Amino acid sequence: MIKLVMGDLAEKRVKSGVQLIDGRDFLDQIVTDGVVSLVNQKGAFLGTAYLSRQNKGIGWVLSREAIEVTEDYLIHLFKKAKQKRRQFEMSDLTTAYRLFNQDGDNLGGLTIDRYGDYALFSWYNSYIYRQKELIISAFQKVFPELKGAYGKVRFKSDLPESSYLYGEEALNPFEILENGVRYSVFLNDGLMTGIFLDQHEVRGSLVDGLALGKTVLNMFSYTAAFSVAAAMGGAIETTSVDLAKRSRELSQAHFKANGLGLENHQFVVMDVFDYFKYARRHALKFDVIVIDPPSFARNKKQTFSVLKDYHKLIAQALDILSPRGIIVASTNASNMTTQQFKKQIQKGLGKIKYQFIDLKQLPGDFTVNKNDESSNYLKVFTIKVNQ
């Protein structure tokens, strides 16, 4: 096996339990794509890793011990991952959740989600993708109850983004349950599925009282999952705003799945900044405003980055928020800490009175590596505004 020498800082990181490997971690030039042995500058063994370029980092530590990635090894990882999600497995109210989460389950570069009776694999680099037969075989031994599976390629390649992997084919679309609410999902159409599972708990809070009797504005709504959760939680009106034309049809599918009429629910295909202007002009007010932008966005007029521009969204939301209204401010930007995000929000809130009443991060099925805060990307603040 190839031995790679790590620099002092990288050695410290590996010893502290960080699994993600950075391009600057090695003294030698890296050309390999596969399993390697890590050593320090004195030649002492540090761990087993694999190298493979992906969106973030160039590889992952597999273990601090000398191991081989065999079917038995993967079975062991999948059994441990399954054990951690017992509570989800037992639930009748939630049928979609993450079964395996990268370094949180000791194998970076791979996630597996459960959507009802189906599994959805995401391959984040070519090494993981090349192990797919072995991974699937081990997975089927630990999860024989699942009927079929699909896969998503999340690294640069000529492969199709989405493909069928094994078993029965899923209906397209079909319904899953979360906190007792139905969502319409599709497993084999690009990289998206119609729902972001990492927001379980935020949707849960909307179902469980936050939206009761309220008017709700959902900005960057995608398939309006937050709006459906709010409607099922007793919201009297919802308005969902997204630039993508397809969002309207996908949003309505979630509402129909729950037998909700559409009279009090609006779907607006518009740039959120234009909608803020429109709402101000028409003196619209909302009791709850949910804001969940992509980390970066570009339209014809401007670029938007969560890191620099989130405060503008908050400031504009204040103009159309009812007295004592609530803002739910979400971001999945991994290049920003919770404190930095809070500062952006405070900058937007300015001098008015407010209280931060809740912070939600990744839910329990999205296990994170406790030794590496950078994998804990989701931050969702609930703020009560006293204006």
Residues interacting with ligand SAH, by CB under 6 A? 196, 199, 220-223, 225-226, 241-244, 247, 271-272, 292, 294, 297, 299
- Smallest distance from ligand SAH to CB 197, Å: 10
Q: C-alpha distances in angstroms, 169 versus 97, 166, 186, 254?
A: 19, 8, 11, 21
| Closer residue to ligand SAH (CB): 88 or 220 | 220
Q: Which residues make beta-bridge pairs with 100?
A: 112
| Closer residue to ligand SAH (CB): 127 or 220 | 220
| Closer residue to ligand SAH (CB): 111 or 247 | 247
What residues have CB less than 8 Å from 330, skipping those under 6 apart?
199, 202, 290, 291, 292, 378, 379, 380, 381
What is the spatial distance between Cα 349 and Cα 360, in angstroms, rounded to a whole number?
Answer: 19
Q: C-alpha distances in angstroms, 22 versus 9, 44, 60?
A: 11, 20, 9
- Smallest distance from ligand SAH to CB 39, Å: 42
| Closer residue to ligand SAH (CB): 214 or 248 | 248
What is the spatial distance between Cα 227 and Cα 206, in angstroms, rounded to a whole number?
Answer: 9
| Closer residue to ligand SAH (CB): 77 or 314 | 314
- Smallest distance from ligand SAH to CB 300, Å: 10
- Smallest distance from ligand SAH to CB 274, Å: 8
| Closer residue to ligand SAH (CB): 39 or 243 | 243
| Closer residue to ligand SAH (CB): 38 or 326 | 326
| Closer residue to ligand SAH (CB): 352 or 359 | 359
- Smallest distance from ligand SAH to CB 214, Å: 17
- Smallest distance from ligand SAH to CB 35, Å: 35
Nearest alpha-carbon partner for 115 in 151, 79, 160, 149: 149
- Smallest distance from ligand SAH to CB 297, Å: 4
- Smallest distance from ligand SAH to CB 112, Å: 20
